[in-house]
Amino acid sequence: MKTRRLTEADISALEIGAGILGAGGGGNTYLAKVRTREIMRSGLPIDLLAPEDLPADAAVVPLAGVGATLVGIERIKEGREGVRALRALEQHLNFTADAIVCTEIGGANSMEPLIIAVQAGLPVVDADGMGRAFPEMQMTTFSIYGHKSTPSAMSDPHGNVVVFEHAVTERWHERMVRATMVAQGGSSTLALAPMSGTFIKEFAIPRSYTKAMALGRAVLGARTHSRDPVEAITALEGGRLAHAGKITDLKREISGGFARGEVRIDGVDDFIGTRARMSLQNEYIALHVDGRLEVVVPDLIVVLDAEDGSPISTEMLRYGQRVAVLVLPSHDLLRTPRALDVVGPDRLA
Amino acid sequence: MLRIGVDVGGTHTDAVLMDGRELLSSTKAPTTHDVTSGVEVAIDSVLSRGGVPRSAVAHVMIGTTHFTNAVIERRHLSEVAVIRLGLPAAACVPPMVDWPDDLRAAVGRHVHMLRGGHEYDGRVLSELDVDGLGIIAKHIGEQRTPAAAITSIFSPVNDAFERRARDYLLERHPALRVVISSEIGQIGLLERENATILNASLLELADRTAVALDDALRECGLQCGYSITQNDGTLMSADHVRRLPVLTFGSGPTNSMRGAGFLSGLSDAIVVDVGGTTSDVGALVNGFPRQASTVVHMGGIRTSFRMPDVQSIGVGGGSIVTERGRRVGPRSLGHRITDEGLVFGGPTTTATDAAVRAGVAHIGDRAAADVIPPEVAATALETIHHEIERAVERAQTSSTRVPVLAVGGGAFLLPRRLNDLDVVQLAHAGVANAIGAAIAQVSGEVDRVFDMDGGRNAALDLAEEEARARAVEAGAVPASLELLERDDTPLAYLSGSARRVRVRVIGDLEAPR
């Protein structure tokens, strides 16, 4: 299989790009970046594989970390949770994985598959199941288009491994995974049932890593050459600047396990005299400008620091910040009636 | 009560003598290499000018950048045995993994990871590896490492293993200085661990500094005690600073903002402190600087200190003017301005010279500034105003309009209004930082995860009790304690009864006996 080897510069770009595609959520990429970098410095290669180069019958395993951010920054991973989950799944189903695929390119879960793939000696498919970040596991194009994600296997830092044999729906799977994750101390890594190369080609969002790294490089490049990072991003992704201004009101609370809230922004420059309102639920969900709905999930609402273009997650929002709000179109796979039933405004907003 | 406030900056050591809320005298002296002789000169001068008997001084409050600079310059740091308890968790990210090489070398490379640690709900993660501690104790003996930093996973929830490990090492090496992370910081393993290591590496310097400051006070004929200001604008005793020197990080800007608030009589304002090379802009909320909510980088590493949220912009009195005034700074003459600036007979056009030319400042040889074309001076001031305006805008904390307080040697660079906000030029603005030190109070804080099984209020009360006890331990009068913050947040994705609780109380320093 033809692959592309990643460099440390790629990982630095991915850190920023994955933050942008997190659309406000997806967790912190710093620790994941440090882990990935350490692995690279130990001389192990990380190889990216274009989805079209996957054999039709390849067995591709989706992998993701699940857990609470606060646990993730304190009880940091042991490091081999993912590969243990993968091996347990292989043994349970009696198959051999050919490649790893990312479930969520937005945030920390963009890097977890890279780390596990290196440990398992497998390539990572340049694709993912969200093209962004979403709060729950069943919100992947894999689940939406009929992949049954059980049997699955989950492991924690201690070495405990749980196999989920069968869930009657994807939502049931999510519910059981969450309960087990709490029992395992609030942070675990999950390997989902394998998909075929053919399924990935049809239903995975393609070129996710390429896209995230290009976004990151655009921001880094704009910084180096004192150009506007916001322009650099919109130029690249067919997105547009939907609002720019200063945060004048901020409400956040945690209910039902989610961080929910609302932000108000007073316009500046081209947007002077206008007011924007954003609702959030782990990610940015909807943007209204002067009372008119401007954009809503599954399209990506990206909030950037107006100065240096770094992505601002919902937990980093602060009163008085100067921000630019960008809209990036979501992939067509997320805009079908079937997808909107799971990740559309009726479900999330 | 008569107090002396001292601020030891990079260039100047300032001192003020205050009787209650009244400023009796103030002075500026050069900061000396050994720090303490500059302090001695400043205190001596402020006492002579104040005309009060030395025996009447009740307390001295000192703000210093000494420890911050030691880290930034990698000087005076001792080697540290770095011990993390928590295996198998966090094995993939060893201690100091993201540190600059020179700093890692300065604290030695004695890194150990052992089993231990707790889960978020206080359960044991893995039992403490006592045999492993034995091996580390042997290493410490062989290599004569003077200090140890112990960090256990989720120690802000349960610090039992950190204490046990500390007791174990002290039993074998009674002279070893041991720091445990639960005394230093909050949840966030790497950031707390980093701060704990830095603290351990500063202990020898803290000892020397504390003794030297004590000597300096005696040399000045003072019999009173002294305290050091910490990053949240409150005081710690000399003994406390010998244990927790890292808590002084960031106290400089805090003192300056608190002093500005005191001088103006305002508790909510934006403070702009214009120095020689940079200006610091921050917000004062309820009399205290707003604290940064994000990770703070110190000497190139991530830490989680409660630091004031201050933006430093590259514009000050010594900033060099180029491009016909369209560019001011970040290059600066710094303290060389008194030799090289136009109005001081030098060849270089600075922000100060532009201000003199425009008639907003009266410094040095006015005529020497006439070589600047008037439109260049005007453009330079506009450039400066624009830069500061942007920083002020970012610092505004609410839609309520608050005044801008101008302090520091270059305060004249500010216009009368900024972003529709009134600019207040304060008298004695040059010593706002020393005044901030002189008016400092004492606080106690708790920030950790509590189990709410016994009810939310019971947990919050328990946290408040702990915070009060900490404040009293730090020297507060129990009856004067006031609640500053008391809030709790649930942990996302974890149902159940664990919540993060943060309580902060503040009170007056106990008058010395």
What is the tens place of the pLDDT at every residue in A62-113?
999 998 888 899 999 999 999 999 999 999 999 999 999 999 999 999 999 9
* Residues of B in Cβ contact (< 8 Å) with A35: 92-93
- The alpha carbons of chain A give a radius of gyration, in whole angstroms, of 19
CB A157 within 8 A of CB B88: yes
CB B423 within 8 A of CB B470: no
Nearest to A79 among B92, B293, B490 (CB): B92
CB B31 within 8 A of CB B208: no
Per DSSP, the three-state class of B319 is strand
Token duo for residue B47: 């006492």
What are the DSSP calls for A323-334, one per residue? EEEEEEPPPGGG
* Residues of A in Cβ contact (< 8 Å) with B158: none
The pLDDT, as a whole number, for residue B46 is 93
Closest by CA to A70, choosing from B321, B153, B266, is: B153
The answer to whether the Cβ–Cβ distance between A254 and B293 falls below 8 Å is no
The values of phi and psi at residue B243, to 5°, are -95, -35
Torsion sign over Cα A39, A42, A48, A53:
negative
Residue A169 burial (10 A CB sphere; 0-12, 13-18, 19+): exposed
Per DSSP, the three-state class of A124 is strand
Enumerate the H helices of B309-401 as residue ranges.
337-340, 351-357, 374-395
* Residues of B in Cβ contact (< 8 Å) with A80: 92
3-state secondary structure B188-241: CHHHHHHHHHHHHHCHHHHHHHHHHHHHHHHHCCCCCEEEEECCCCEEEEHHHH
Angle at the Cα of A59 (from A57 to A63), degrees rounded to 5?
Answer: 150
* Residues of B in Cβ contact (< 8 Å) with A321: 394
* Residue ranges in chain B whose pLDDT is less than 70: 293-294, 397-399, 489-498, 511-513
CB B348 within 8 A of CB B341: yes
CB B138 within 8 A of CB B173: no
Closest by CA to A314, choosing from A265, A250, A237, is: A250
Cα(B18)–Cα(B434) distance, integer angstroms:
10
Per the document, the length of chain A is 349
Token duo for residue A54: 């996957």
Longest dimension (CA), chain A: 63
Nearest to A185 among B120, B394, B397 (CB): B120
User: Any idea what DSSP says for residue A136?
Assistant: S
The answer to whether the Cβ–Cβ distance between B153 and A322 falls below 8 Å is no
Closest by CA to B258, choosing from B477, B5, B471, B480, is: B5
Cα(B511)–Cα(B1) distance, integer angstroms:
8
The answer to whether the Cβ–Cβ distance between A76 and B92 falls below 8 Å is yes
Q: Which residues of A touch B (CB under 8 A)?
A: 30-31, 34-35, 38, 67-71, 73-80, 157-159, 178, 181-182, 185-186, 246, 248-249, 254, 257-259, 282, 316, 318-322
Cα(B353)–Cα(B343) distance, integer angstroms:
6
* Residues of B in Cβ contact (< 8 Å) with A74: 120, 153-154, 187-189
Longest dimension (CA), chain B: 77
Token duo for residue B478: 């129990």
Q: Higher confidence at residue B433 or residue A153? A: A153
What are the DSSP calls for B386-404, one per residue? HHHHHHHHHH--SSS--PE
Q: Which residues of B touch A (CB under 8 A)?
A: 86-93, 97-98, 117, 119-120, 123, 125-126, 153-154, 187-190, 293-294, 302, 393-399, 489-496, 500
The pLDDT, as a whole number, for residue B352 is 93
Using a cut of 0.90, tell me whether the model's pTM lies above it: no
Could you give the ipTM of this predicted complex? 0.90
Cα(B453)–Cα(B447) distance, integer angstroms:
18
Nearest to A258 among B119, B394, B492 (CB): B492
The answer to whether the Cβ–Cβ distance between A75 and B294 falls below 8 Å is no
CA count, 13 A, side-chain hemisphere, A328 = 29
Nearest to A73 among B188, B294, B395 (CB): B188
Nearest to A38 among B87, B97, B399 (CB): B97
pLDDT in tens, A175-227: 999 999 999 999 999 999 999 999 999 999 999 999 999 999 999 998 888 78
* Residues of A in Cβ contact (< 8 Å) with B496: 182
Angle at the Cα of A318 (from A208 to A345), degrees rounded to 5?
Answer: 50
The pLDDT, as a whole number, for residue B495 is 52
The pLDDT, as a whole number, for residue B513 is 45
User: Which of A33, A44, A74, A177 is the best residue to mutate to test the B interface, defined by the most B CB atoms within 10 Å of its own CB?
Assistant: A74
Chain A residue at shortest CA distance from B399: A248
Closest by CA to B201, choosing from B250, B252, B245, B143, is: B245
Percent of chain A clearing pLDDT 90 (strictly above): 72
What rounded mean pLDDT belongs to chain A? 92
Chain B residue at shortest CA distance from A175: B493
The answer to whether the Cβ–Cβ distance between A74 and B119 falls below 8 Å is no
* Residues of A in Cβ contact (< 8 Å) with B91: 78-79
Neighbouring-strand partners of residue B399: none
Residue A279 has pLDDT above 90, yes or no: yes
Cα(B456)–Cα(B321) distance, integer angstroms:
58
Nearest to A257 among B88, B302, B495 (CB): B495
Chain A residue at shortest CA distance from B396: A320
Chain A residue at shortest CA distance from B189: A74
Torsion sign over Cα B464, B465, B468, B474:
negative
Torsion sign over Cα B410, B411, B414, B419:
positive
The values of phi and psi at residue A172, to 5°, are -65, -40
Reported confidence tier of residue A314, pLDDT bands at 50, 70, 90: confident
Token duo for residue B307: 């630091």
The answer to whether the Cβ–Cβ distance between B89 and A257 falls below 8 Å is no
The region of weakest confidence among A185-194, A237-246, A331-340 is A237-246
Per DSSP, the three-state class of B359 is coil
The pLDDT, as a whole number, for residue B484 is 81
The answer to whether the Cβ–Cβ distance between A248 and B399 falls below 8 Å is yes
Size of interface A-B (CB pairs under 8 A): 115
3-state secondary structure A167-230: CCCHHHHHHHHHHHHHHCCCEEEEECCCEEHHHHHHHCEECHHHHHHHHHHHHHHHHHCCCCHH
Enumerate the H helices of chain A as residue ranges.
8-21, 30-41, 69-72, 81-93, 112-120, 141-144, 170-183, 197-203, 208-224, 229-237, 337-343, 345-348
Tell me the CA distances in angstroms from B168 to A222, B182, B361, one per residue in order: 53, 17, 63
Chain A residue at shortest CA distance from B98: A34
